[in-house]
Each structure stands twice: as C-alpha cells, then as structure tokens.
Homo-oligomer: A and B are copies of this chain.
Amino acid sequence: MLDLQPLLCPRSIAVIGASTQPEKVGGVPIRLLGELGYGGRVFPVNPGADTVQGLRAYATVADIGEPVDLAIVAVPAPAAPDVMAQLGQAGTRAAVVFTSGFAEVGGGDALQHALATQAHAHGVQLLGPNCLGAMNLRERMFATFSPIPLSGVPPVGHVGLVSQSGAFGAYAFALAREAGLGLSHWVTTGNEAGLQVADVIEWLANDPQTQVILAYVEGARDGMRLRRALAAARAAGKPVVIAKVGTTAAGASAAQSHTASLAGEDAVYQAVFDEYGVHRAHTLEAFFRLGYTLARGRRPAKWQSATGLAADAVAPVAIVTVSGGVGIMMADSAETLGLPLPHMPDTAAQALRAAIPFASTANPIDVTGQVVAQPQVFVDALANVARCGQYGAVAAFLAGGVNAPRLWPVLQDTVSALEADRHAAPLLISGVMDDDKRAWLEARGCLVFREPAHTMEAVAALAKAAAMEAAADAPVGADNSAPLHPPALPPDATALSEAEAMAWLAAAGVPVVPHGVAQHAEAAVDLAESIGYPVAVKICSRHILHKSDIGGVALNLRDADAVRAAFAQVRRAAAQARDAGGNAVPFEGAIVAGMARGWGEIMVGVRRDPVFGLVALAGIGGTAVEIFRQMAFGLAPLSRQRARAMLTQSRAAALCSGHRGHPAIDLDAVADVLVNVSRAAAAIGDRLDTLEINPFIVGPDGLVAADAVITLR
C-alpha cells in the first residue's frame, strides 16, 4: 500500500507558481488554505513576488530551506518536469500537479512521461497531472484550484471520495454539500501518471476516518492494483461504491478520448465488482444515494444468500404502507431485487385487524388512510414487525404522514424505542416531510427517501454490505489448497494440440471424452473399437485450431470403414493446411474420440483480459451462445459458489435441473468442473492466452468435454 499521508495529511505545503491573484489557478489554493483554516504551514513559491496573498514568498522551492510534505504545482506544462526534479532535490514527499496539456492532448505523452520519470526518480508521490487536486476535510486541507469550497464545505464525515475526473469530483463535492453527506477525503486523480484511483481506494480502506469509499472510474490502468485495493476494502469491511462509466460502446469511445482510459469490457468489470462486493452506480443520483445509504444506514437485523456469495445477500423486508397502491409498487421493487416478503406474524396481524378491519395484514402491510385517525395503530404495527425477529428491515411509506400533527409525536416515541433496541430491525421511511423532521429521524438511525422504491434498493445494498462485512475475513475467490501437477508446456508453441489440451484438462480433474491419437488408419480403427462406436475423428495439431473449417473433423462414425474413410479425409485436409505463417503443417496424427451423449451443451472458457488477467466465462452452447449471448463471467480461478452463480446467471443451470424430462444432475459437481477448468487455466499461468471448451456435453453423468482449445502466449 502506498502511504498517502504526505499527500492527504501534510504538515506543510508549498505552492509552486503561487499567484498573487486569488482567483488564478495558482492563487486559489493559497486563498483556500488561508481562509478555510488549514493548520499547517504554507509556502508560496513565486520568483517575481516578495509576498503572495499576505504570505512570504520564495523564489524557488530550495529557498524554503526545509523539505515540505506536499507541493502544489501550477506551472506551465513544459516547465513541470524540471519543477518536479527541483521538488525531489528539496526533499518534497508528494506533489499535486494541476497543469493540463499532457497525455490528454495529442503529443502530450512524452511530456507526461518526463514528469512521471522525474517524480519516480526522486521519490515524489505524484497526483495528476491534469487533476483538480485533493482535500482532507478534517484537516481543512484544500489542495485544489476549484473555488467551490469557498461557497461551503460538506460536514466532516466518513465517506472518502475519489474521482478520475476533476469536474465529476467538483460536482460530487457540491452534491455532497447539498445533501449534508459527511466526507473524510476528496481526491481527483486526473491523468494518473503517478497515483491511480486504485491507490487512493487502498489507502482509504486503511484510513480510520473513512468508513465508505465512493469512486468514479473511467478505466483502470492497472487491473491488479484495483483488485488489490478492492480486496483491502473488503478485508477492512468498508463498502465501496463505484460509478464505472463507459459501459456501452458510445460511452467507452467517449471515455477513451477523455482521460485516455481504456474502458475495458464492461462484463469483466462487473465480474470484478461482483467478486469484491462493490456497489455499482450507473447515475450520479444512485452514486450519492448509495453513499448516503451505506454511510448512515444500520445493517439489516438478518440477511441470507441463495448462492452463498456475500455479494448476493438479501434481507427479508416488511413493507408498511398507508397507501395500498404504493405498497404494491414497493412489492414489485422488492421482488425485482430478490428481497423476500414474509407475511406479518399472526399476533401482530390480529392486533392490526382488530383496530383497522380493512387493513391488509399480509406483506405489504397496508394500514390504509386510517393512519390519520389511528396513528398509534400504525406505529404499533411498525414496532411489532421491527421486533418480531423475522425481518431484516422495515420499509415504511408514510406519504405526507410524518408532518401530520397527530402522527409525529407517536412516531417519535416509536423510533426512539426502536433505536434503543439493539435487536430491532432498522427502519427506512419514504414520504414527504419537513427538513427538521427528516434530520430528527436520520439522527436516530432511520434512512429517509422521497421515492418508495429507493427504500427497497437501500435494503438490498445494506444486506449486501452486512454480508460483505461479515465475510471480511474469508478469502476472495477460490482457495488453491491442492496444487495441480499438469504436463509440461511445449516451450515455443502458440497453442496446444487437442490431445495436449485434453491431457491438461484431465490432469486438472475435468472429465473429457475417451480418446487417443492415431498415426495411421488401422490404429484409428483399433482406438475406435476400444472406445466404442460412434466416434469422432479430428486433426490433432498445435497449428490448426479451426479444424472443422478445413474439413478436419468427422463426427458420428459408426463402423470401421467410416473411421478409415474419415482418417483419410482428415489426413488430406492436414496435407493442405497451412499454419499462421503460411507454412505446410506436419501431420501429427488424428484424435479418435468417443461421442458423448447428452441433452444439451455448455460452453466454458477462460481468457486473458488485458486489464484484470484471467477471466472465466460460461453459458449455454449452440444457438443460445450466439443469439442470446447470456454468458456469465468470473475471475479465474473460480470458487465453487461463484461457478454455481455463473451457471445460474447464464441459465446453464436449467440444463442440469430436469430439463425436458431428463434426469437432474448435481449442480455442485457441475460447478466443480468449472472450478477445475479455471484452475487448469490458472496453472498454465502467464503463458495462457485462451482456453475454450465448446461443447461441454450435459448428460446423465454430468459434464464431459468433447473438444478443447488452449492457445498460449
């Protein structure tokens, strides 16, 4: 982990290019640090001035006469590398470079490289260039040229915010201020020549002032750094909310031109986020709402996960409503999110019906408009479901009821009593109300929303956070307890032959069809007889991956003559084949393999993502994979739970559960086959380019690989 203490908690700050004009880029930070109460020392550096905004100015950083923790750099781009060298020589520990005109513009790469090289050579931690800076709200440290803190600062709190984009960061700052969301730190990373969003996430994960991390990401330059940062947050039990933009082709193309990010394939990002339990936001509104929810929301009293993965946890919720219609909308939302809606316990239901005969006592619990006449009945219903032990959370819709003079006092009594009860389920309220009542409720642990559906989304996010916090000590992904002992890899090959690939898979515990390699026709017949008809005969070569395209595959051969004819055909095809370099391919033999019988096909693969490394994918094979494209992704090696979840997400699990009258097969065993495929790929390690099994035949004995392709780097 990089130590961001000099950047975010500096005891002294030099401003290089300090301006006497407080509205200039080099003047704003001097003004902010002075006016807003920064407690450390500030050294303006400006060769043309004796004082800057009332502070003694220095001609160079060396003239300060002592090393400073942090330098703010606001000099023209061409001068920045030299300034960085001077900072390093003066012992400066960290630098924020505001200046733009580096990699984000054509031809700016070299200058950015020079800047980063100087920073690295002198051990100066670099934030930027082309960034809006950083803030530590507790220390009143404002190393930014945005004037926005002058018009007000959010409360000091426990949300750390980091953004690749400066403008996004500034807007987020304004929205946090408006919503009263308490921040610990605020960091924008710009072109990321030094520090990346991932480094800041990792530091915040270890920062005792920060409990929730909000991050805006266009593209991770170093996927492994991001994974390490998310693992640190997970281990610290701190929820991470990420707005990852560039999810579509249009967005990705825009991102590339913005901060020169490679947006990457969104499904892979999503797999990473799923693995580490990241809460994902697709809009600014959701980004902040998740921040509010996770920073202030009490965790559900109970939760459960169908997949065993903490990221899939949900909490049973009681919906208590004064409007049946809104209750139905909330129930729709709960079901969409997978939140169970268990019925109200009998005694509570009887009490409610005794008081309001028209009330609906299932779930949603509809107290009806009678709440106006009988407010105590409503709050009693709330308290009963919150305490009954079967709900993780209680979501109440009150319309304008909180403001009703007769309801408010009894609601206050109930909320106070529930706050004091450690076992009571937390309360989430939607409706319109005065600001002071909202603040009163929030101070007592209630979350408050205007939109009823948002209470459901909040329960879902809190359940996931609770499960992630409980699982903080568990390892991420698969445990690699049993090492594999697969065959050696051919040193210079760019692929394995099918037989070699099959051997790798078999060594990893993946069932493969019975097979052997024959050098001549009669050996092929002998193999076929020992395997049993029908069989397939296919070219076996490291140099020919698309066997069927060149006539190198014959399927469903039912007797010796057919095998002989197929062998001859395959041999002819091999003789005409050319490798990638256009050279003739030596005939290495033909693979003779049994025809697996089953009722469906699954496609499983592992490939190397340029950002995040090995990624496994799975889905139904055949027409489905091409037309519906419902593939599920996971980081390799997979855990059994992740493999099971991938089978469910891709619907491949449907082929295993008594599909069209076929016998059901053990889904855990199928998941273990996926795990073993992913371990085989991981065992190949850095050499692996892609591994694909298409098809895996689904039959009464589970999965069996009928074909395999492994390409190497």
Contact = CB atoms under 8 A, between A and B. Distances in A.
A251 B328 contact: yes
A172 B283 CA distance: 25
A451 interface: yes
Given A167-B369, A250-B331, A399-B171, A600 B628 contact: no
A285 B332 contact: no
Nearest to A100: B358
A389 interface: no
Interface residues of A, number: 83
A620 interface: yes
A257 B624 contact: no
A341 B622 CA distance: 34
A165 interface: yes
Q: Which of A254, A358, A362, A651 has the most CB of B within 10 A?
A: A254
Interface string A622-637: 1110111010000000
Given A248-B332, A332-B245, A660-B626, A360 B258 contact: yes
Contact of A432 (B100, B175, B322): B175
A247 interface: yes
A245 B452 CA distance: 13
Contact of A624 (B163, B175, B282, B628): B628
A163 B168 CA distance: 39
Contacts of A324: 165, 167, 254, 258-259
A304 B79 CA distance: 51
Given A245-B332, A358-B101, A400-B171, A254 B327 contact: yes
A80 to B, nearest CB: 16
Interface string A130-162: 001000000000000000100000000000000
A105 B174 contact: no
Interface string A246-276: 1111110111011100000000000000000
A109 interface: no
A461 interface: no
B166 A369 contact: yes
B258 A328 contact: yes
A362 B148 CA distance: 28
A360 B335 CA distance: 42
A366 B167 CA distance: 11
Contact of A331 (B254, B322, B368, B626): B254
A561 interface: no
Contacts of A341: 250
A83 interface: no
Interface string A211-229: 0000010100000000000
Interface in A163-208: 163-168, 170-171, 174-175, 178
A259 B216 CA distance: 45
A336 interface: yes
A357 B334 CA distance: 49
Interface string A305-342: 00000000000000000111111110111111000010
Contacts of A368: 167
Contacts of A247: 332
Copies of this protein in the complex: 2
A364 interface: yes
A692 interface: no
A353 to B, nearest CB: 11
Given A167-B399, A366-B258, A600-B623, A251 B329 contact: yes
A600 B364 CA distance: 45
A104 interface: yes
A587 to B, nearest CB: 27
Contact of A325 (B163, B322, B660): B163
Contacts of A243: 329
A205 to B, nearest CB: 23
B627 A329 contact: no
Interface string A393-432: 0000001100000000000000000000000000000011
Interface string A433-450: 000000000000000001
A654 interface: yes
Contact of A323 (B171, B255, B327): B171
Q: Which of A171, A174, A366, A630 has the most CB of B within 10 A?
A: A171
B246 A105 contact: no
Contacts of A399: 167, 170-171, 174
B627 A335 contact: no
The 8 A-B pairs with the shortest beta carbon distances in the complex, nearest first, are: A167-B323, A165-B325, A251-B332, A168-B325, A248-B335, A258-B324, A250-B335, A245-B328
17 contacts: A101-B358, A167-B324, A167-B399, A168-B323, A168-B325, A170-B369, A174-B432, A218-B325, A218-B328, A243-B329, A247-B332, A258-B327, A282-B329, A284-B326, A285-B453, A624-B624, A626-B654
Given A166-B369, A254-B360, A284-B326, 13 more contacts: A101-B358, A105-B358, A165-B323, A167-B323, A167-B369, A171-B399, A245-B325, A245-B332, A250-B332, A251-B331, A255-B328, A258-B328, A627-B659
